[in-house]
Structure 1
């Protein structure tokens, strides 16, 4: 009788310990300054590193290009950051051309197969997931916690409204200076 209770207890608790595993953890771009991640990019990279170490993803893709005056791309800086913290080079993919959330996902798409876990700021995540689905990517999200200003939430809500209305993802709302950067 005691064994039956123990097995029932283990079966009941098993789903609580089960964690999803993704083929890719995808860190969406945010600014870098002179080869160092901005605070926003560093929060995203730390979250991705934690998820990777937990075994939640097999590989990490870091997206983001550079402004004309920059020496380094966001993807390059992010990959160096993760490699310096023990992520094997073969587990990293660095996308270095994109200049918007839409381009982050568009340029990564040919390189990613399977299930994706998008890592970005909590206010930015709903728009990123909408764009991922628009591009046919199988994506779920991981919202990086933070104390985000109300204006960031409002701007992201307007971006999503823009997309829900069927307007192009590129243009005014996906410029180099969007809120996720």
Structure 2
């Protein structure tokens, strides 16, 4: 019976794989990748539960409970950094569970998946850090060629140089430094390990947040501003934000005949001739958006003010606070913008415009640094505890050696 069920679930899965893209083509939003991933997850979970039922065990309830905790937290409030941690806990527990199930069943599908995962993890352990270094140097060169040499564009290069120096020093430290000094040096790798976990959780929730599927029932779309070229022209990065809003505007209009208003948000910088929002409005007008469907917010200087001032304009235009809003920005900035919306008490999620791949590593590093600074007190406490612990170990080692 197990073989028959495996064949049946496999056939059902393959049918869904072919049907989903065709089904999405008939929708206003034709994106199908999220639904393919969801379909695979559903079929795999059903298959795993079937294997458990055959064994007359119910250990699948353990990872399922972690998944439910994550889903409850995420759908209650998507804009939480803790959601990344909860999802990764689910992954760890789920992988452990699947390993246990593999040992108990020796299922061919699980063996194949375990083999692929093992090869990936082995490669990650053997060459992961060195491959990361090569990628960071390559990416830094590409970014500098295409975007210039500003400090914001040098983050991947600075990270690559820092990791290189760390690896070299770490290799020679045991040979040069006494044991107690090596323990003091251990403050750095432990702090780096901590921040790598924080970054991984941030990256996880940032990616998950990209899968927002907003309903076509919005009253407003906020477009978050950024700098202008020569103080008056919309740059490509900002243009993509506006075009993402226009895409949703047209999709909702086609689906409901009731398009939302587009609210351009951005003030006038010191080096700009006009407010960003006015340049953004002109851009949208050239794309055929009616002027009566465009609002402008001209006072904000940063993303938090974008959200606060836009909220005031929407409340005034709508005549109340029960409006439904959405915001658009570039995909790398999406989650942090959501945090600012939460800080402004604005109930709105976002959709992200695509960004060129070469720009993403540098952009996500910039976003991560900004996120760390938003919670710097928490991170200083953790790093302080790490430093105190290693100093105590170093002192114990030092006095132990001198007392011999």
Q: 1:20 to 1:101 in 2, by over 3 A?
A: same
2:239 maps to: 42
Deviation of residue 61 (structure 1)?
A: 0.5
**For structure 1, which runs of at least 5 residues remain unmatched after alignment?**
1-12, 168-181
> What aligned pairs does 1:20-169 form with structure 2 within 5 A after superposition?
20-34=216-230, 35-55=232-252, 57-113=259-315, 114-147=323-356, 148-164=359-375
Q: Which has the higher contact order (CA 8 A, sep 6+)?
A: 1
Q: Which has the larger radius of gyration?
A: 2
Q: 8 Å contact 1:115–1:139 — kept in the other structure?
A: yes
Greater percentage in helix: 2
The TM-score, its normalising length taken from structure 1, stands at 0.76
- Other structure's SS at 1:66 match: coil
RMSD: 2.3
Q: 8 Å contact 1:32–1:73 — kept in the other structure?
A: no
Q: What do residues 119-162 of structure 1 show as CA deviations (whole Å, max 9, x unaligned)?
A: 00111111110110111111011011112331210111221233
- Other structure's SS at 1:151 match: helix
Deviation of residue 90 (structure 1)?
A: 1.5
Q: What do residues 87-141 of structure 1 show as CA deviations (whole Å, max 9, x unaligned)?
A: 1112111111211111111111111241221100111111110110111111011
Provide the C-alpha distance between the structure 2 equivalents of 1:58 and 1:166, rounded to a whole number of angstroms. 40
Provide the C-alpha distance between the structure 1 equivalents of 2:222 and 2:250, rounded to a whole number of angstroms. 14
Deviation of residue 46 (structure 1)?
A: 1.1
Deviation of residue 20 (structure 1)?
A: 2.9
1:9 maps to: none
- Other structure's SS at 2:263 match: strand
- Other structure's SS at 1:86 match: coil
Deviation of residue 166 (structure 1)?
A: 7.4
**For structure 2, which runs of at least 5 residues remain unmatched after alignment?**
1-22, 29-214, 254-258, 316-322, 379-404
- Other structure's SS at 1:36 match: coil
- Other structure's SS at 1:123 match: helix
- Greater Cα shift, 62-71 or 134-143: 62-71
The TM-score, its normalising length taken from structure 2, stands at 0.36
Q: What do residues 31-80 of structure 1 show as CA deviations (whole Å, max 9, x unaligned)?
A: 21242201111111111111111116511011111222321111000011
